[in-house]
Amino acid sequence: MTTRERRRRVTIADVARHAGVSTTAVSKVLRNAYGVSAAMRDRVKAAIDELGYRPHASARAMRGRTYTIGVLLPDLRNPFFPEILDGLYEQLDGTGYQVIIVLGGRDAKAETRAIDALVDRQVDGMLMVAPRVPRTRLEEVGGQLPTVVLGPHEKSALYDAVLDDDEIGAELVVRHLISLGHRRIAHIGHRENAGRRTAAMLQTIRAVTYERVMREHGLDDEIAMAMTTYSEEGGYEGARELLARSPRPTAIFAGADLAAFGALTALHEAGLAVPADVSLAGYDNTRTAALSDISLTSVDQDGGVMGGTAGRLLLERIEGRTSSVTFSVTPTLVPRRSTAPPPAETRTA
C-alpha cells in the first residue's frame, strides 16, 4: 500500500529556490498581496505548478488558515452557476486557495447543514450563491469568517454583496416584448417562502419589475403570473397554467432560462410554435439558450465577472478588510429567435 507519507512534501523554500526568488516573495504571491509584479507572479506560479506545491493544511490551521474557500450553490442544474465558478477559479488561480463546494439541497434546513459543514471544515472564506437561509444566518456566518453573498439585493455590515441589477434585467425583457407589439405578456416566477427576506430576493425583484413595467405601459389588466420555481419542472407547470388562460398570452417571460426550457416543452405539447404563436424569453443567458435549436432571448448578467469579483472580495477580506462593499453588475439583453412580433390576429384585437 502506498502511503502519502512517502512523498516528501514540497515546501515554500523549494518553490522560492526553483523560482529564484525569496520565500517572502512566494508568500506574497500566495496571499495575493499588493505590490507583486506580474512577472514575479508568473514565475512563482510556474514554480508552484512544476513542483506541485501544496500549502500544509494543518500547519496553516495552526496559524489560522486552511487556504480553502467554501462555496454554497443551490444546486448543480442551473447552468448559470458554472459561469460564476469559472470566474472564481480564475481569480483564485495561483493563490494556493482551493475551492470546496456544498449544495443547498431541498430547503433552508438542508442548506443550513450544508453551510455548517463548510464552517466546520474551517474554510477561510465563504461564498454563498442565492442562499435561502434567513439573513440572520448569513450574518452569523459573516461574523465568523470572510463572507460574500451573491444574488440577494441586501446589504450587511457583516458581509459583501455581489449582485445583478435584476430590475434593469427584467425591465429590458418586458420592454423588448412590448416593443415587438405584445400586450398579453405573462411571467413565470419562483416562489420561495423566506419570510421578510423575500423582497430582497432576485426572483421577487424580477417579478415585481415585470408588474411595474406592465403597469407603466397601461397593461395592468394583462398581468398574468404563474409562481412556480426556477427549474424545468417549474417552467413546464407555469407555462401550462398560463396557456390554459383565455385568451392565452402571446409572450412569456420566464425568470430563468431553466424555467424557459420547461416552458418550451409545454408549448410544444400544446401544439404552439415559438415565436410564431408565442414568444418566449428567459434570464441568465446560459449556453443552452445559445444553442441554435433553442435560440432563446435572454438576459446576460456576466456570471464570470460576478464570480471573479466575489473571489477578489474574499481575498481582500481574508487580508483584513472589514468594511462591507456591494458590487452590482448591469445586465444586457440578448435577443434571439424565440421572440418576435405577436401573431397578426392578436395585433388587431
Distances in Å between the Cα of 265 and the Cα atoms of 62, 232, 329 are 54, 9, 31
Among 12, 33, 40, 57, binds a second copy (CB under 8 A): 57
Q: Is residue 165 near a second copy by the rule CB under 8 A? A: no
For residue 225, what are the β-bridge partners? 187
Closest approach of Cβ 64 to a second copy, in Å? 15
CB-side neighbour CA atoms (13 Å) of 75: 10
- b/e sequence 132-154, b meaning 16+ C-beta within 10 Å: bbebebbbebbeebbbbbbbbbb
Residues 91, 94, 100: CA angle, nearest 5 degrees:
65
In whole angstroms, the minimum distance from the beta carbon of 15 to a second copy comes to 14
In sequence order, what are the residues at sequence separation of 6 or more whose Cβ sits closer than 8 angstroms to the Cβ of residue 143? 158
Residue 209: Cβ-neighbour burial (10 angstroms; 0-12, 13-18, 19+):
buried
Q: Which is nearer to a second copy, 23 or 98 (CB)?
A: 98
3 binds a second copy (CB under 8 A): yes
By CB under 8 A, residue 1 contacts a second copy = yes
Q: Does residue 215 interact with a second copy by CB under 8 A?
A: no
Q: Is 273 helix (H, G, I), strand (E, B) or coil?
A: coil
DSSP result, 204-267:
HHHHHHHHHHHHHTT-GGG-EEEEE-SSHHHHHHHHHHHHTSSSPPSEEEESSHHHHHHHHHHH
Task: Report d(CA 237, CA 239) in Å as an integer.
Answer: 6
- Interacting residue with a second copy among 13, 20, 109, 244 (CB under 8 A): 109
What phi and psi, each to the nearest 5 degrees, are found at residue 148? -125, 135
Sole window of 35-43, 176-184, 242-250, 290-298 interacting with a second copy (rule: CB under 8 A)? 290-298
**Joined grid coordinates for residue 122:** 474551517
Chain-centroid distance, C-alpha 124: 21
Min. distance of Cβ 294 from a second copy in angstroms? 6
294 lies in the site for a second copy, by CB under 8 A = yes
Q: Which of 20, 22, 42, 76 binds a second copy (CB under 8 A)?
A: 76
* Window of 184-192, 238-246, 248-256, 265-273 that interacts with a second copy by CB under 8 A: 265-273
- Asked whether position 75 contacts a second copy by CB under 8 A, the answer is yes
Stretch that binds a second copy, among 22-30, 71-79, 190-198, 209-217 (CB under 8 A): 71-79
- Give residue 162's region: left, alpha or beta (phi > 0; psi -120 to 50): beta
DSSP 199: G
User: Minimal distance in Å, beta carbon 100 to a second copy?
Assistant: 5
Under rule CB under 8 A, residue 159 binds a second copy:
no
Pick between residue 2 and residue 37 the one whose CB is nearest to a second copy: 2
CB of 95 to a second copy, least distance (A): 12
Binding of a second copy at residue 35 (CB under 8 A)?
A: no
Q: Which is nearer to a second copy, 103 or 168 (CB)?
A: 103
- Cα separation, 312 vs 189, in Å, equals 31
Asked if 112 interacts with a second copy (CB under 8 A), we say: yes
Which of residues 43, 81, 239, 298 is near a second copy by CB under 8 A? 81
Write out the residues near a second copy by the rule CB under 8 A. 1-4, 49, 52, 54, 57-58, 66, 68, 75-77, 79, 81-82, 85, 89, 98-103, 105, 109, 112-114, 116-122, 136, 139-140, 143-144, 158, 232, 261, 264-265, 268-269, 287-288, 291-294
